[in-house]
Amino acid sequence: MKLLTKKPTLALLSMAILTACGGGGGGGDNPKPDPDYNKIFTVETYGDMFTGKPYVLSINNAYREGYEFSARYGELSDVNPLTGEQAETGKLFYYVPESVLGTTSDYYNFKEEFEAVSPEDTANGELNIGTASGQSDYLFNEQWHIMNQGQNPFSVAKSPVKGIDLNVIPAWHLKDSKNNLISGKNVKVAVYDVRIDFKHEDLKAHKYAPSLSRSYINADLSLTDLKEYDVLAHGTAVAGIIGAVANNGVGGRGIAYDSVLTSYEMRTDLQYSVLTVKDDIDIINASMGIDDSSVYEPDLDIQAQAMLENGIPFVKAIGNEFEDVEFDDSKQYPKYCLNHGVTCQFNQTSSINRGRYFINVGALNSLGEKSSYSSTGSHIWVSGTGGEFGYSRLAANSSAAMVTTLSSYLPEKYDDWDEDSPWRENQTYYDKRKFYTHRMNGTSSAAPSVTGVIALINQAKPDVTVPQVRYILAKTANNKNTSGWESLDYSPVKKEISEFDGENIVLENGWHKNGAGLWFSNYFGFGVVNAEKAVQKALDCDSDEGCEMRKELPSMYKSSGSSPCTSTDGGLNITCSLSGFVNVDDPSDTNAVFEIDNLAINVRSLVFASSTNSVCSDAAEEYASGVAKANAFLQISMTSPAGTEALIKPVYANWDYSGITYRKQITEPFLIQTSDFFTEDVSASDKFTLKIKSMCPLDVSALNSDVFVLIDGYAK
C-alpha cells in the first residue's frame, strides 16, 4: 500500500488498530529500553527511521478511549504501510517516511513528539528516533559511504563531501514482490578472504553454514592469530561493510544488513569448485588481487564458467597498485608513470585478474575522486567506496577511510589498526568504537560495498543472472555527467615519447561514450554504483529489454580468418583486423547480429622478436632488464566497429617480467578483457581493429598464429 503522506498541518488520527510488522531490522525486535519512554505509547516492536520499517506502538490504557493522535515528524497509521493489514485493537503503527529524512536539525536522529487529544484533555509524549535511541546503530552516522552528510568524526584534514555516497538509504525504502523492505534479506554472501571473526557483536547473528564442510569454511579467528598477524582482521572488516546487523544497539550496519555471511578462507588447498555450489552461495566477494602472471590457474577458468552458469557473481577488488609495481625483478622497471600521474601496472596478469565475467571494482574516496591507490584498466566494471588512508598527523591532505567491524577482541590486545588516532583515543566514545575501525580502505573496501548492493539486487530479483547483475550496475552507475558527480571527471593524458620517436601517445583516455551510449573510463568503469537506481532496475528488469534478454546466458562468437595482423616496420607497429565472427557452438551461424556482453582478446603469442638493439635483444632473450623496459613501452588498443577506442594496455603500465615466459609455456588462450564495448551491436562481418605499438619489435608471425577476439553476445 502507498505510504500515507503528511499534510501541511498535523493530522489527528482516530484510535487505531494494527498488526506487528516483522523483518527489516536485522535483530532489532528485542532492543534495549528507550530512556524516553513516553506516557501515551509503549513501544512493542521497534522500527527503523532509515528504512521506513514501522514501529508497533501499544496505546497506554489511559488513552485508549476518546483520544486522537498525531506525530510531529513521522506518521501514525491504523494500516501497516508495508503490508496494508489493519491493526489490532489498541495499537498503532508509527513510521518515518523517506521524505522526512534530512528535514530535522540532525539527519541521523530526532526526538519525535506525540500528542493525544480528547475533548477534555491534551497529553504529550516523546520518543528518541535514530542513532540516539537505544536500539539503533551508534556508528551509523560515521559511515559516509551509506550517507555522506559531510561528517568528519575522523579528524581528517579533508572532510567528506556531502552527497558522495552509494545512495543506499533510498534503496532500503523500496520493497520486493513480497512487500519486504529491501535489505538483502537472507541473501547468502561468501566472503573469500582471511577468516571472519564471527564472535563479533555485529556479525555473529548473520553467520550461516553452507552444505559443504571444510576446514577453511567458517574457521575460527583467535586472539593468538590476530596478535601474530593483524591483517587477519581484514576479512572481518570486509564482512561488516556487506552485512553488519542493523538496529541491534551497537556499531554500524552493512549495506545488505539482512544478508547472511559465510567465510571461505583464502588458502592454497582451497578448490575453487566449492565456490560454485549455487544452493550454498548467492554472491562471492573477493577483496584480493594477485599480480604475478606466473600464477596460472586453469581450474579457476573452469570454475569461473561454473559460477556464470550457476548465477553466482564473483565480485573482485581490482587492486591497489596504481602507483606501485610488484612483480619479478620489478626494480628493472622504469617508473615514468609516477612522473605523469598514470597507472604503473597492467593489471591483467594472473588468472584471477582476467577472470571471465568477474565484476572488477575500483575505489572512490569520500571527496568524489578515484582513490589514490586504486588500480585502473579497461577491464574494470564499476566503482565502489574505498576511501583513503584515514587520519594521519603527517598528511595535510588526509581524507576518510571507512568505518566497519574490526574484531571481537579489545584493541589493546593486538596491533590495533586505529592506534594513536583521535577516533580511538577519544574516551567519550571508546566503548562504542572499540570493536570497530575507521581505517578500512583500499579496493578491499570498494568490492564489498558493491557486493552489498548486489545483495540488495538479489533480494529484489532472486532469479537474477550474472549478466543481468552486470547490466544493472553498468546502466545505473553515476558517471561524470550525473548531477552532483562532476568530481569524477578527469583529463586525458597525452605525451610525446622519445622511445616512439617523439610521437604523441595517449597514456590515459579519460571518460568517453561508447557506441551504445554508455559512458566509460579506465578509472571508474561505467561509474560509481547507485544502490537505489540499481535496485529499481532489478525490480523493473522483466520490462527492460536489455535486462530481460540477459535472463539466459549469451552465445559465444569468435573471430576467424588467417594472418589478420600486419606490420610495415618490422613489428614496432602492428595492426590486426579481426572479423568473420562465428558462433562457437553453432559454426553454421555466420551471419548473426549480436549485442556485446563480454569481450576478450587472445594475446598468448604476443612476444618480442630478435633485435640488434641491446635492450630489445635482452627482451627477446627474456632477461629481466630488457623485458621490463620493453613492456613499459608497449601499448595495446582496440577500436570497435562502432568507433569506440579502448585503451587496454597503456604505455608505462608494466606487467610481470615472467609474463613472456608464461605465455610461451601454455597452450591455452591468454585472454585479456575490455569492458569498453558493452551493449554495442556487432554483425558477424564487422571488423575490430587491434593496434599494438612497441619500442621493441614483436613477432608478427607468432601473433598471427592464434590472435582472435572472443565475444559473449546476444543475437538480435
CATH assignment of the domain containing 43:
2.60.40
Regarding whether 380 and 239 lie in a shared domain, the answer is yes
Please identify which residue in the block is written with the cell numbers 606501485: 324
pLDDT band at 24 (very low <50, low <70, confident <90, very high): very low
Regarding whether 314 and 192 lie in a shared domain, the answer is yes
42-53 tens-digit pLDDT? 999 999 999 999
Q: Per-residue pLDDT for 660 more than 90?
A: no
* Domain-embedded: residue 575: yes
Q: Percentage of residues in the chain with pLDDT exceeding 70?
A: 92
Regarding whether 696 and 577 lie in a shared domain, the answer is yes
Residue where a domain stops, chosen among 444, 463, 479: 479
Regarding whether 281 and 393 lie in a shared domain, the answer is yes
The predicted pLDDT at position 172 comes to 98
Regarding whether 674 and 568 lie in a shared domain, the answer is yes
Kindly state the cell numbers that stand for 145: 559511504
pLDDT band at 300 (very low <50, low <70, confident <90, very high): confident
Residue where a domain stops, chosen among 86, 109, 130: 130
Phi, psi of 319 (to 5 degrees): 120, 165
* Domain-embedded: residue 154: no
Phi, psi of 411 (to 5 degrees): -60, -25
CA 328 to chain centre: 30
Give me the mean pLDDT over the 131-142 stretch. Answer: 89
* Domain-embedded: residue 219: yes
391-405 tens-digit pLDDT? 998 888 999 999 999
Rounded-to-integer distance, Cα 369 and Cα 533, Å: 21
Q: What is the DSSP pairing of strand 573-583 with strand 688-694? A: antiparallel
The domain in which residue 293 lies consists of 183-318+353-479
Regarding whether 707 and 569 lie in a shared domain, the answer is yes
Rounded-to-integer distance, Cα 24 and Cα 88, Å: 20
3-class SS string, 79-98: ECCCCCCECECCEEEEECCH
The closest of 120, 77, 274, 89 to 192, measured between CA atoms, is: 274
Rounded-to-integer distance, Cα 455 and Cα 189, Å: 8
Rounded-to-integer distance, Cα 411 and Cα 439, Å: 13
Regarding whether 201 and 113 lie in a shared domain, the answer is no
Regarding whether 188 and 117 lie in a shared domain, the answer is no
The predicted pLDDT at position 543 comes to 98
342-365 tens-digit pLDDT? 999 898 888 888 899 999 999 999
- Vertex 45, ends 43 and 48: CA angle to 5°? 100
> Which of the pair, 450 or 588, is modelled with greater confidence?
450
Q: Taking a C-beta distance cutoff of 8 angstroms, is the pair 366, 160 a contact?
A: yes
229-258 tens-digit pLDDT? 999 999 999 999 999 999 999 999 999 999
672-710 tens-digit pLDDT? 999 999 999 999 999 999 999 999 999 999 999 999 999
Q: Per-residue pLDDT for 293 more than 80?
A: no
pLDDT band at 656 (very low <50, low <70, confident <90, very high): confident
pLDDT band at 424 (very low <50, low <70, confident <90, very high): very high
Q: Per-residue pLDDT for 25 more than 60?
A: no
Regarding whether 446 and 562 lie in a shared domain, the answer is no
CA 541 to chain centre: 20
* Burial annotation 29-56 (CB, 10 A radius, 16+ → b, else e): bebeebeeebebbebebbbbbbbbbbbb
Rounded-to-integer distance, Cα 471 and Cα 604, Å: 29
Taking the chain, what is the end-to-end CA distance rounded to the nearest angstrom? 39
**CA 13 vs CA 10, 37, 45, 116, 226: distances in Å:** 9, 21, 20, 9, 56
Q: Per-residue pLDDT for 2 more than 90?
A: no
pLDDT band at 628 (very low <50, low <70, confident <90, very high): confident
Give me the mean pLDDT over the 259-273 stretch. Answer: 93
Q: Per-residue pLDDT for 278 more than 70?
A: yes
Chain mean pLDDT for the chain: 91
Residue where a domain stops, chosen among 67, 101, 130: 130
* Domain-embedded: residue 528: no
Rounded-to-integer distance, Cα 313 and Cα 471, Å: 12
Q: Per-residue pLDDT for 390 more than 70?
A: yes
Rounded-to-integer distance, Cα 143 and Cα 86, Å: 36
Kindly state the cell numbers that stand for 403: 568505518
Regarding whether 190 and 124 lie in a shared domain, the answer is no
The predicted pLDDT at position 427 comes to 94
Beta carbons within 8 Å of 287's beta carbon, 6+ residues apart: 193, 234, 238, 316, 317, 442, 443, 444, 445, 447, 448
DSSP letter at 105 equals S
Regarding whether 589 and 442 lie in a shared domain, the answer is no
* Domain-embedded: residue 165: no
* Domain-embedded: residue 2: no
pLDDT band at 12 (very low <50, low <70, confident <90, very high): very low
Rounded-to-integer distance, Cα 680 and Cα 218, Å: 42
* Domain-embedded: residue 170: no
* Domain-embedded: residue 639: yes
Task: Please give the tally of structural domains in the chain.
Answer: 3
pLDDT band at 655 (very low <50, low <70, confident <90, very high): confident
Q: Per-residue pLDDT for 519 more than 50?
A: yes
Which CATH number covers residue 443? Answer: 3.40.50.200
Q: Per-residue pLDDT for 327 more than 90?
A: no
Which CATH number covers residue 566? Answer: 2.60.120
Torsion of CA 47, 48, 53, 59, to 10 degrees: 30
Regarding whether 195 and 108 lie in a shared domain, the answer is no
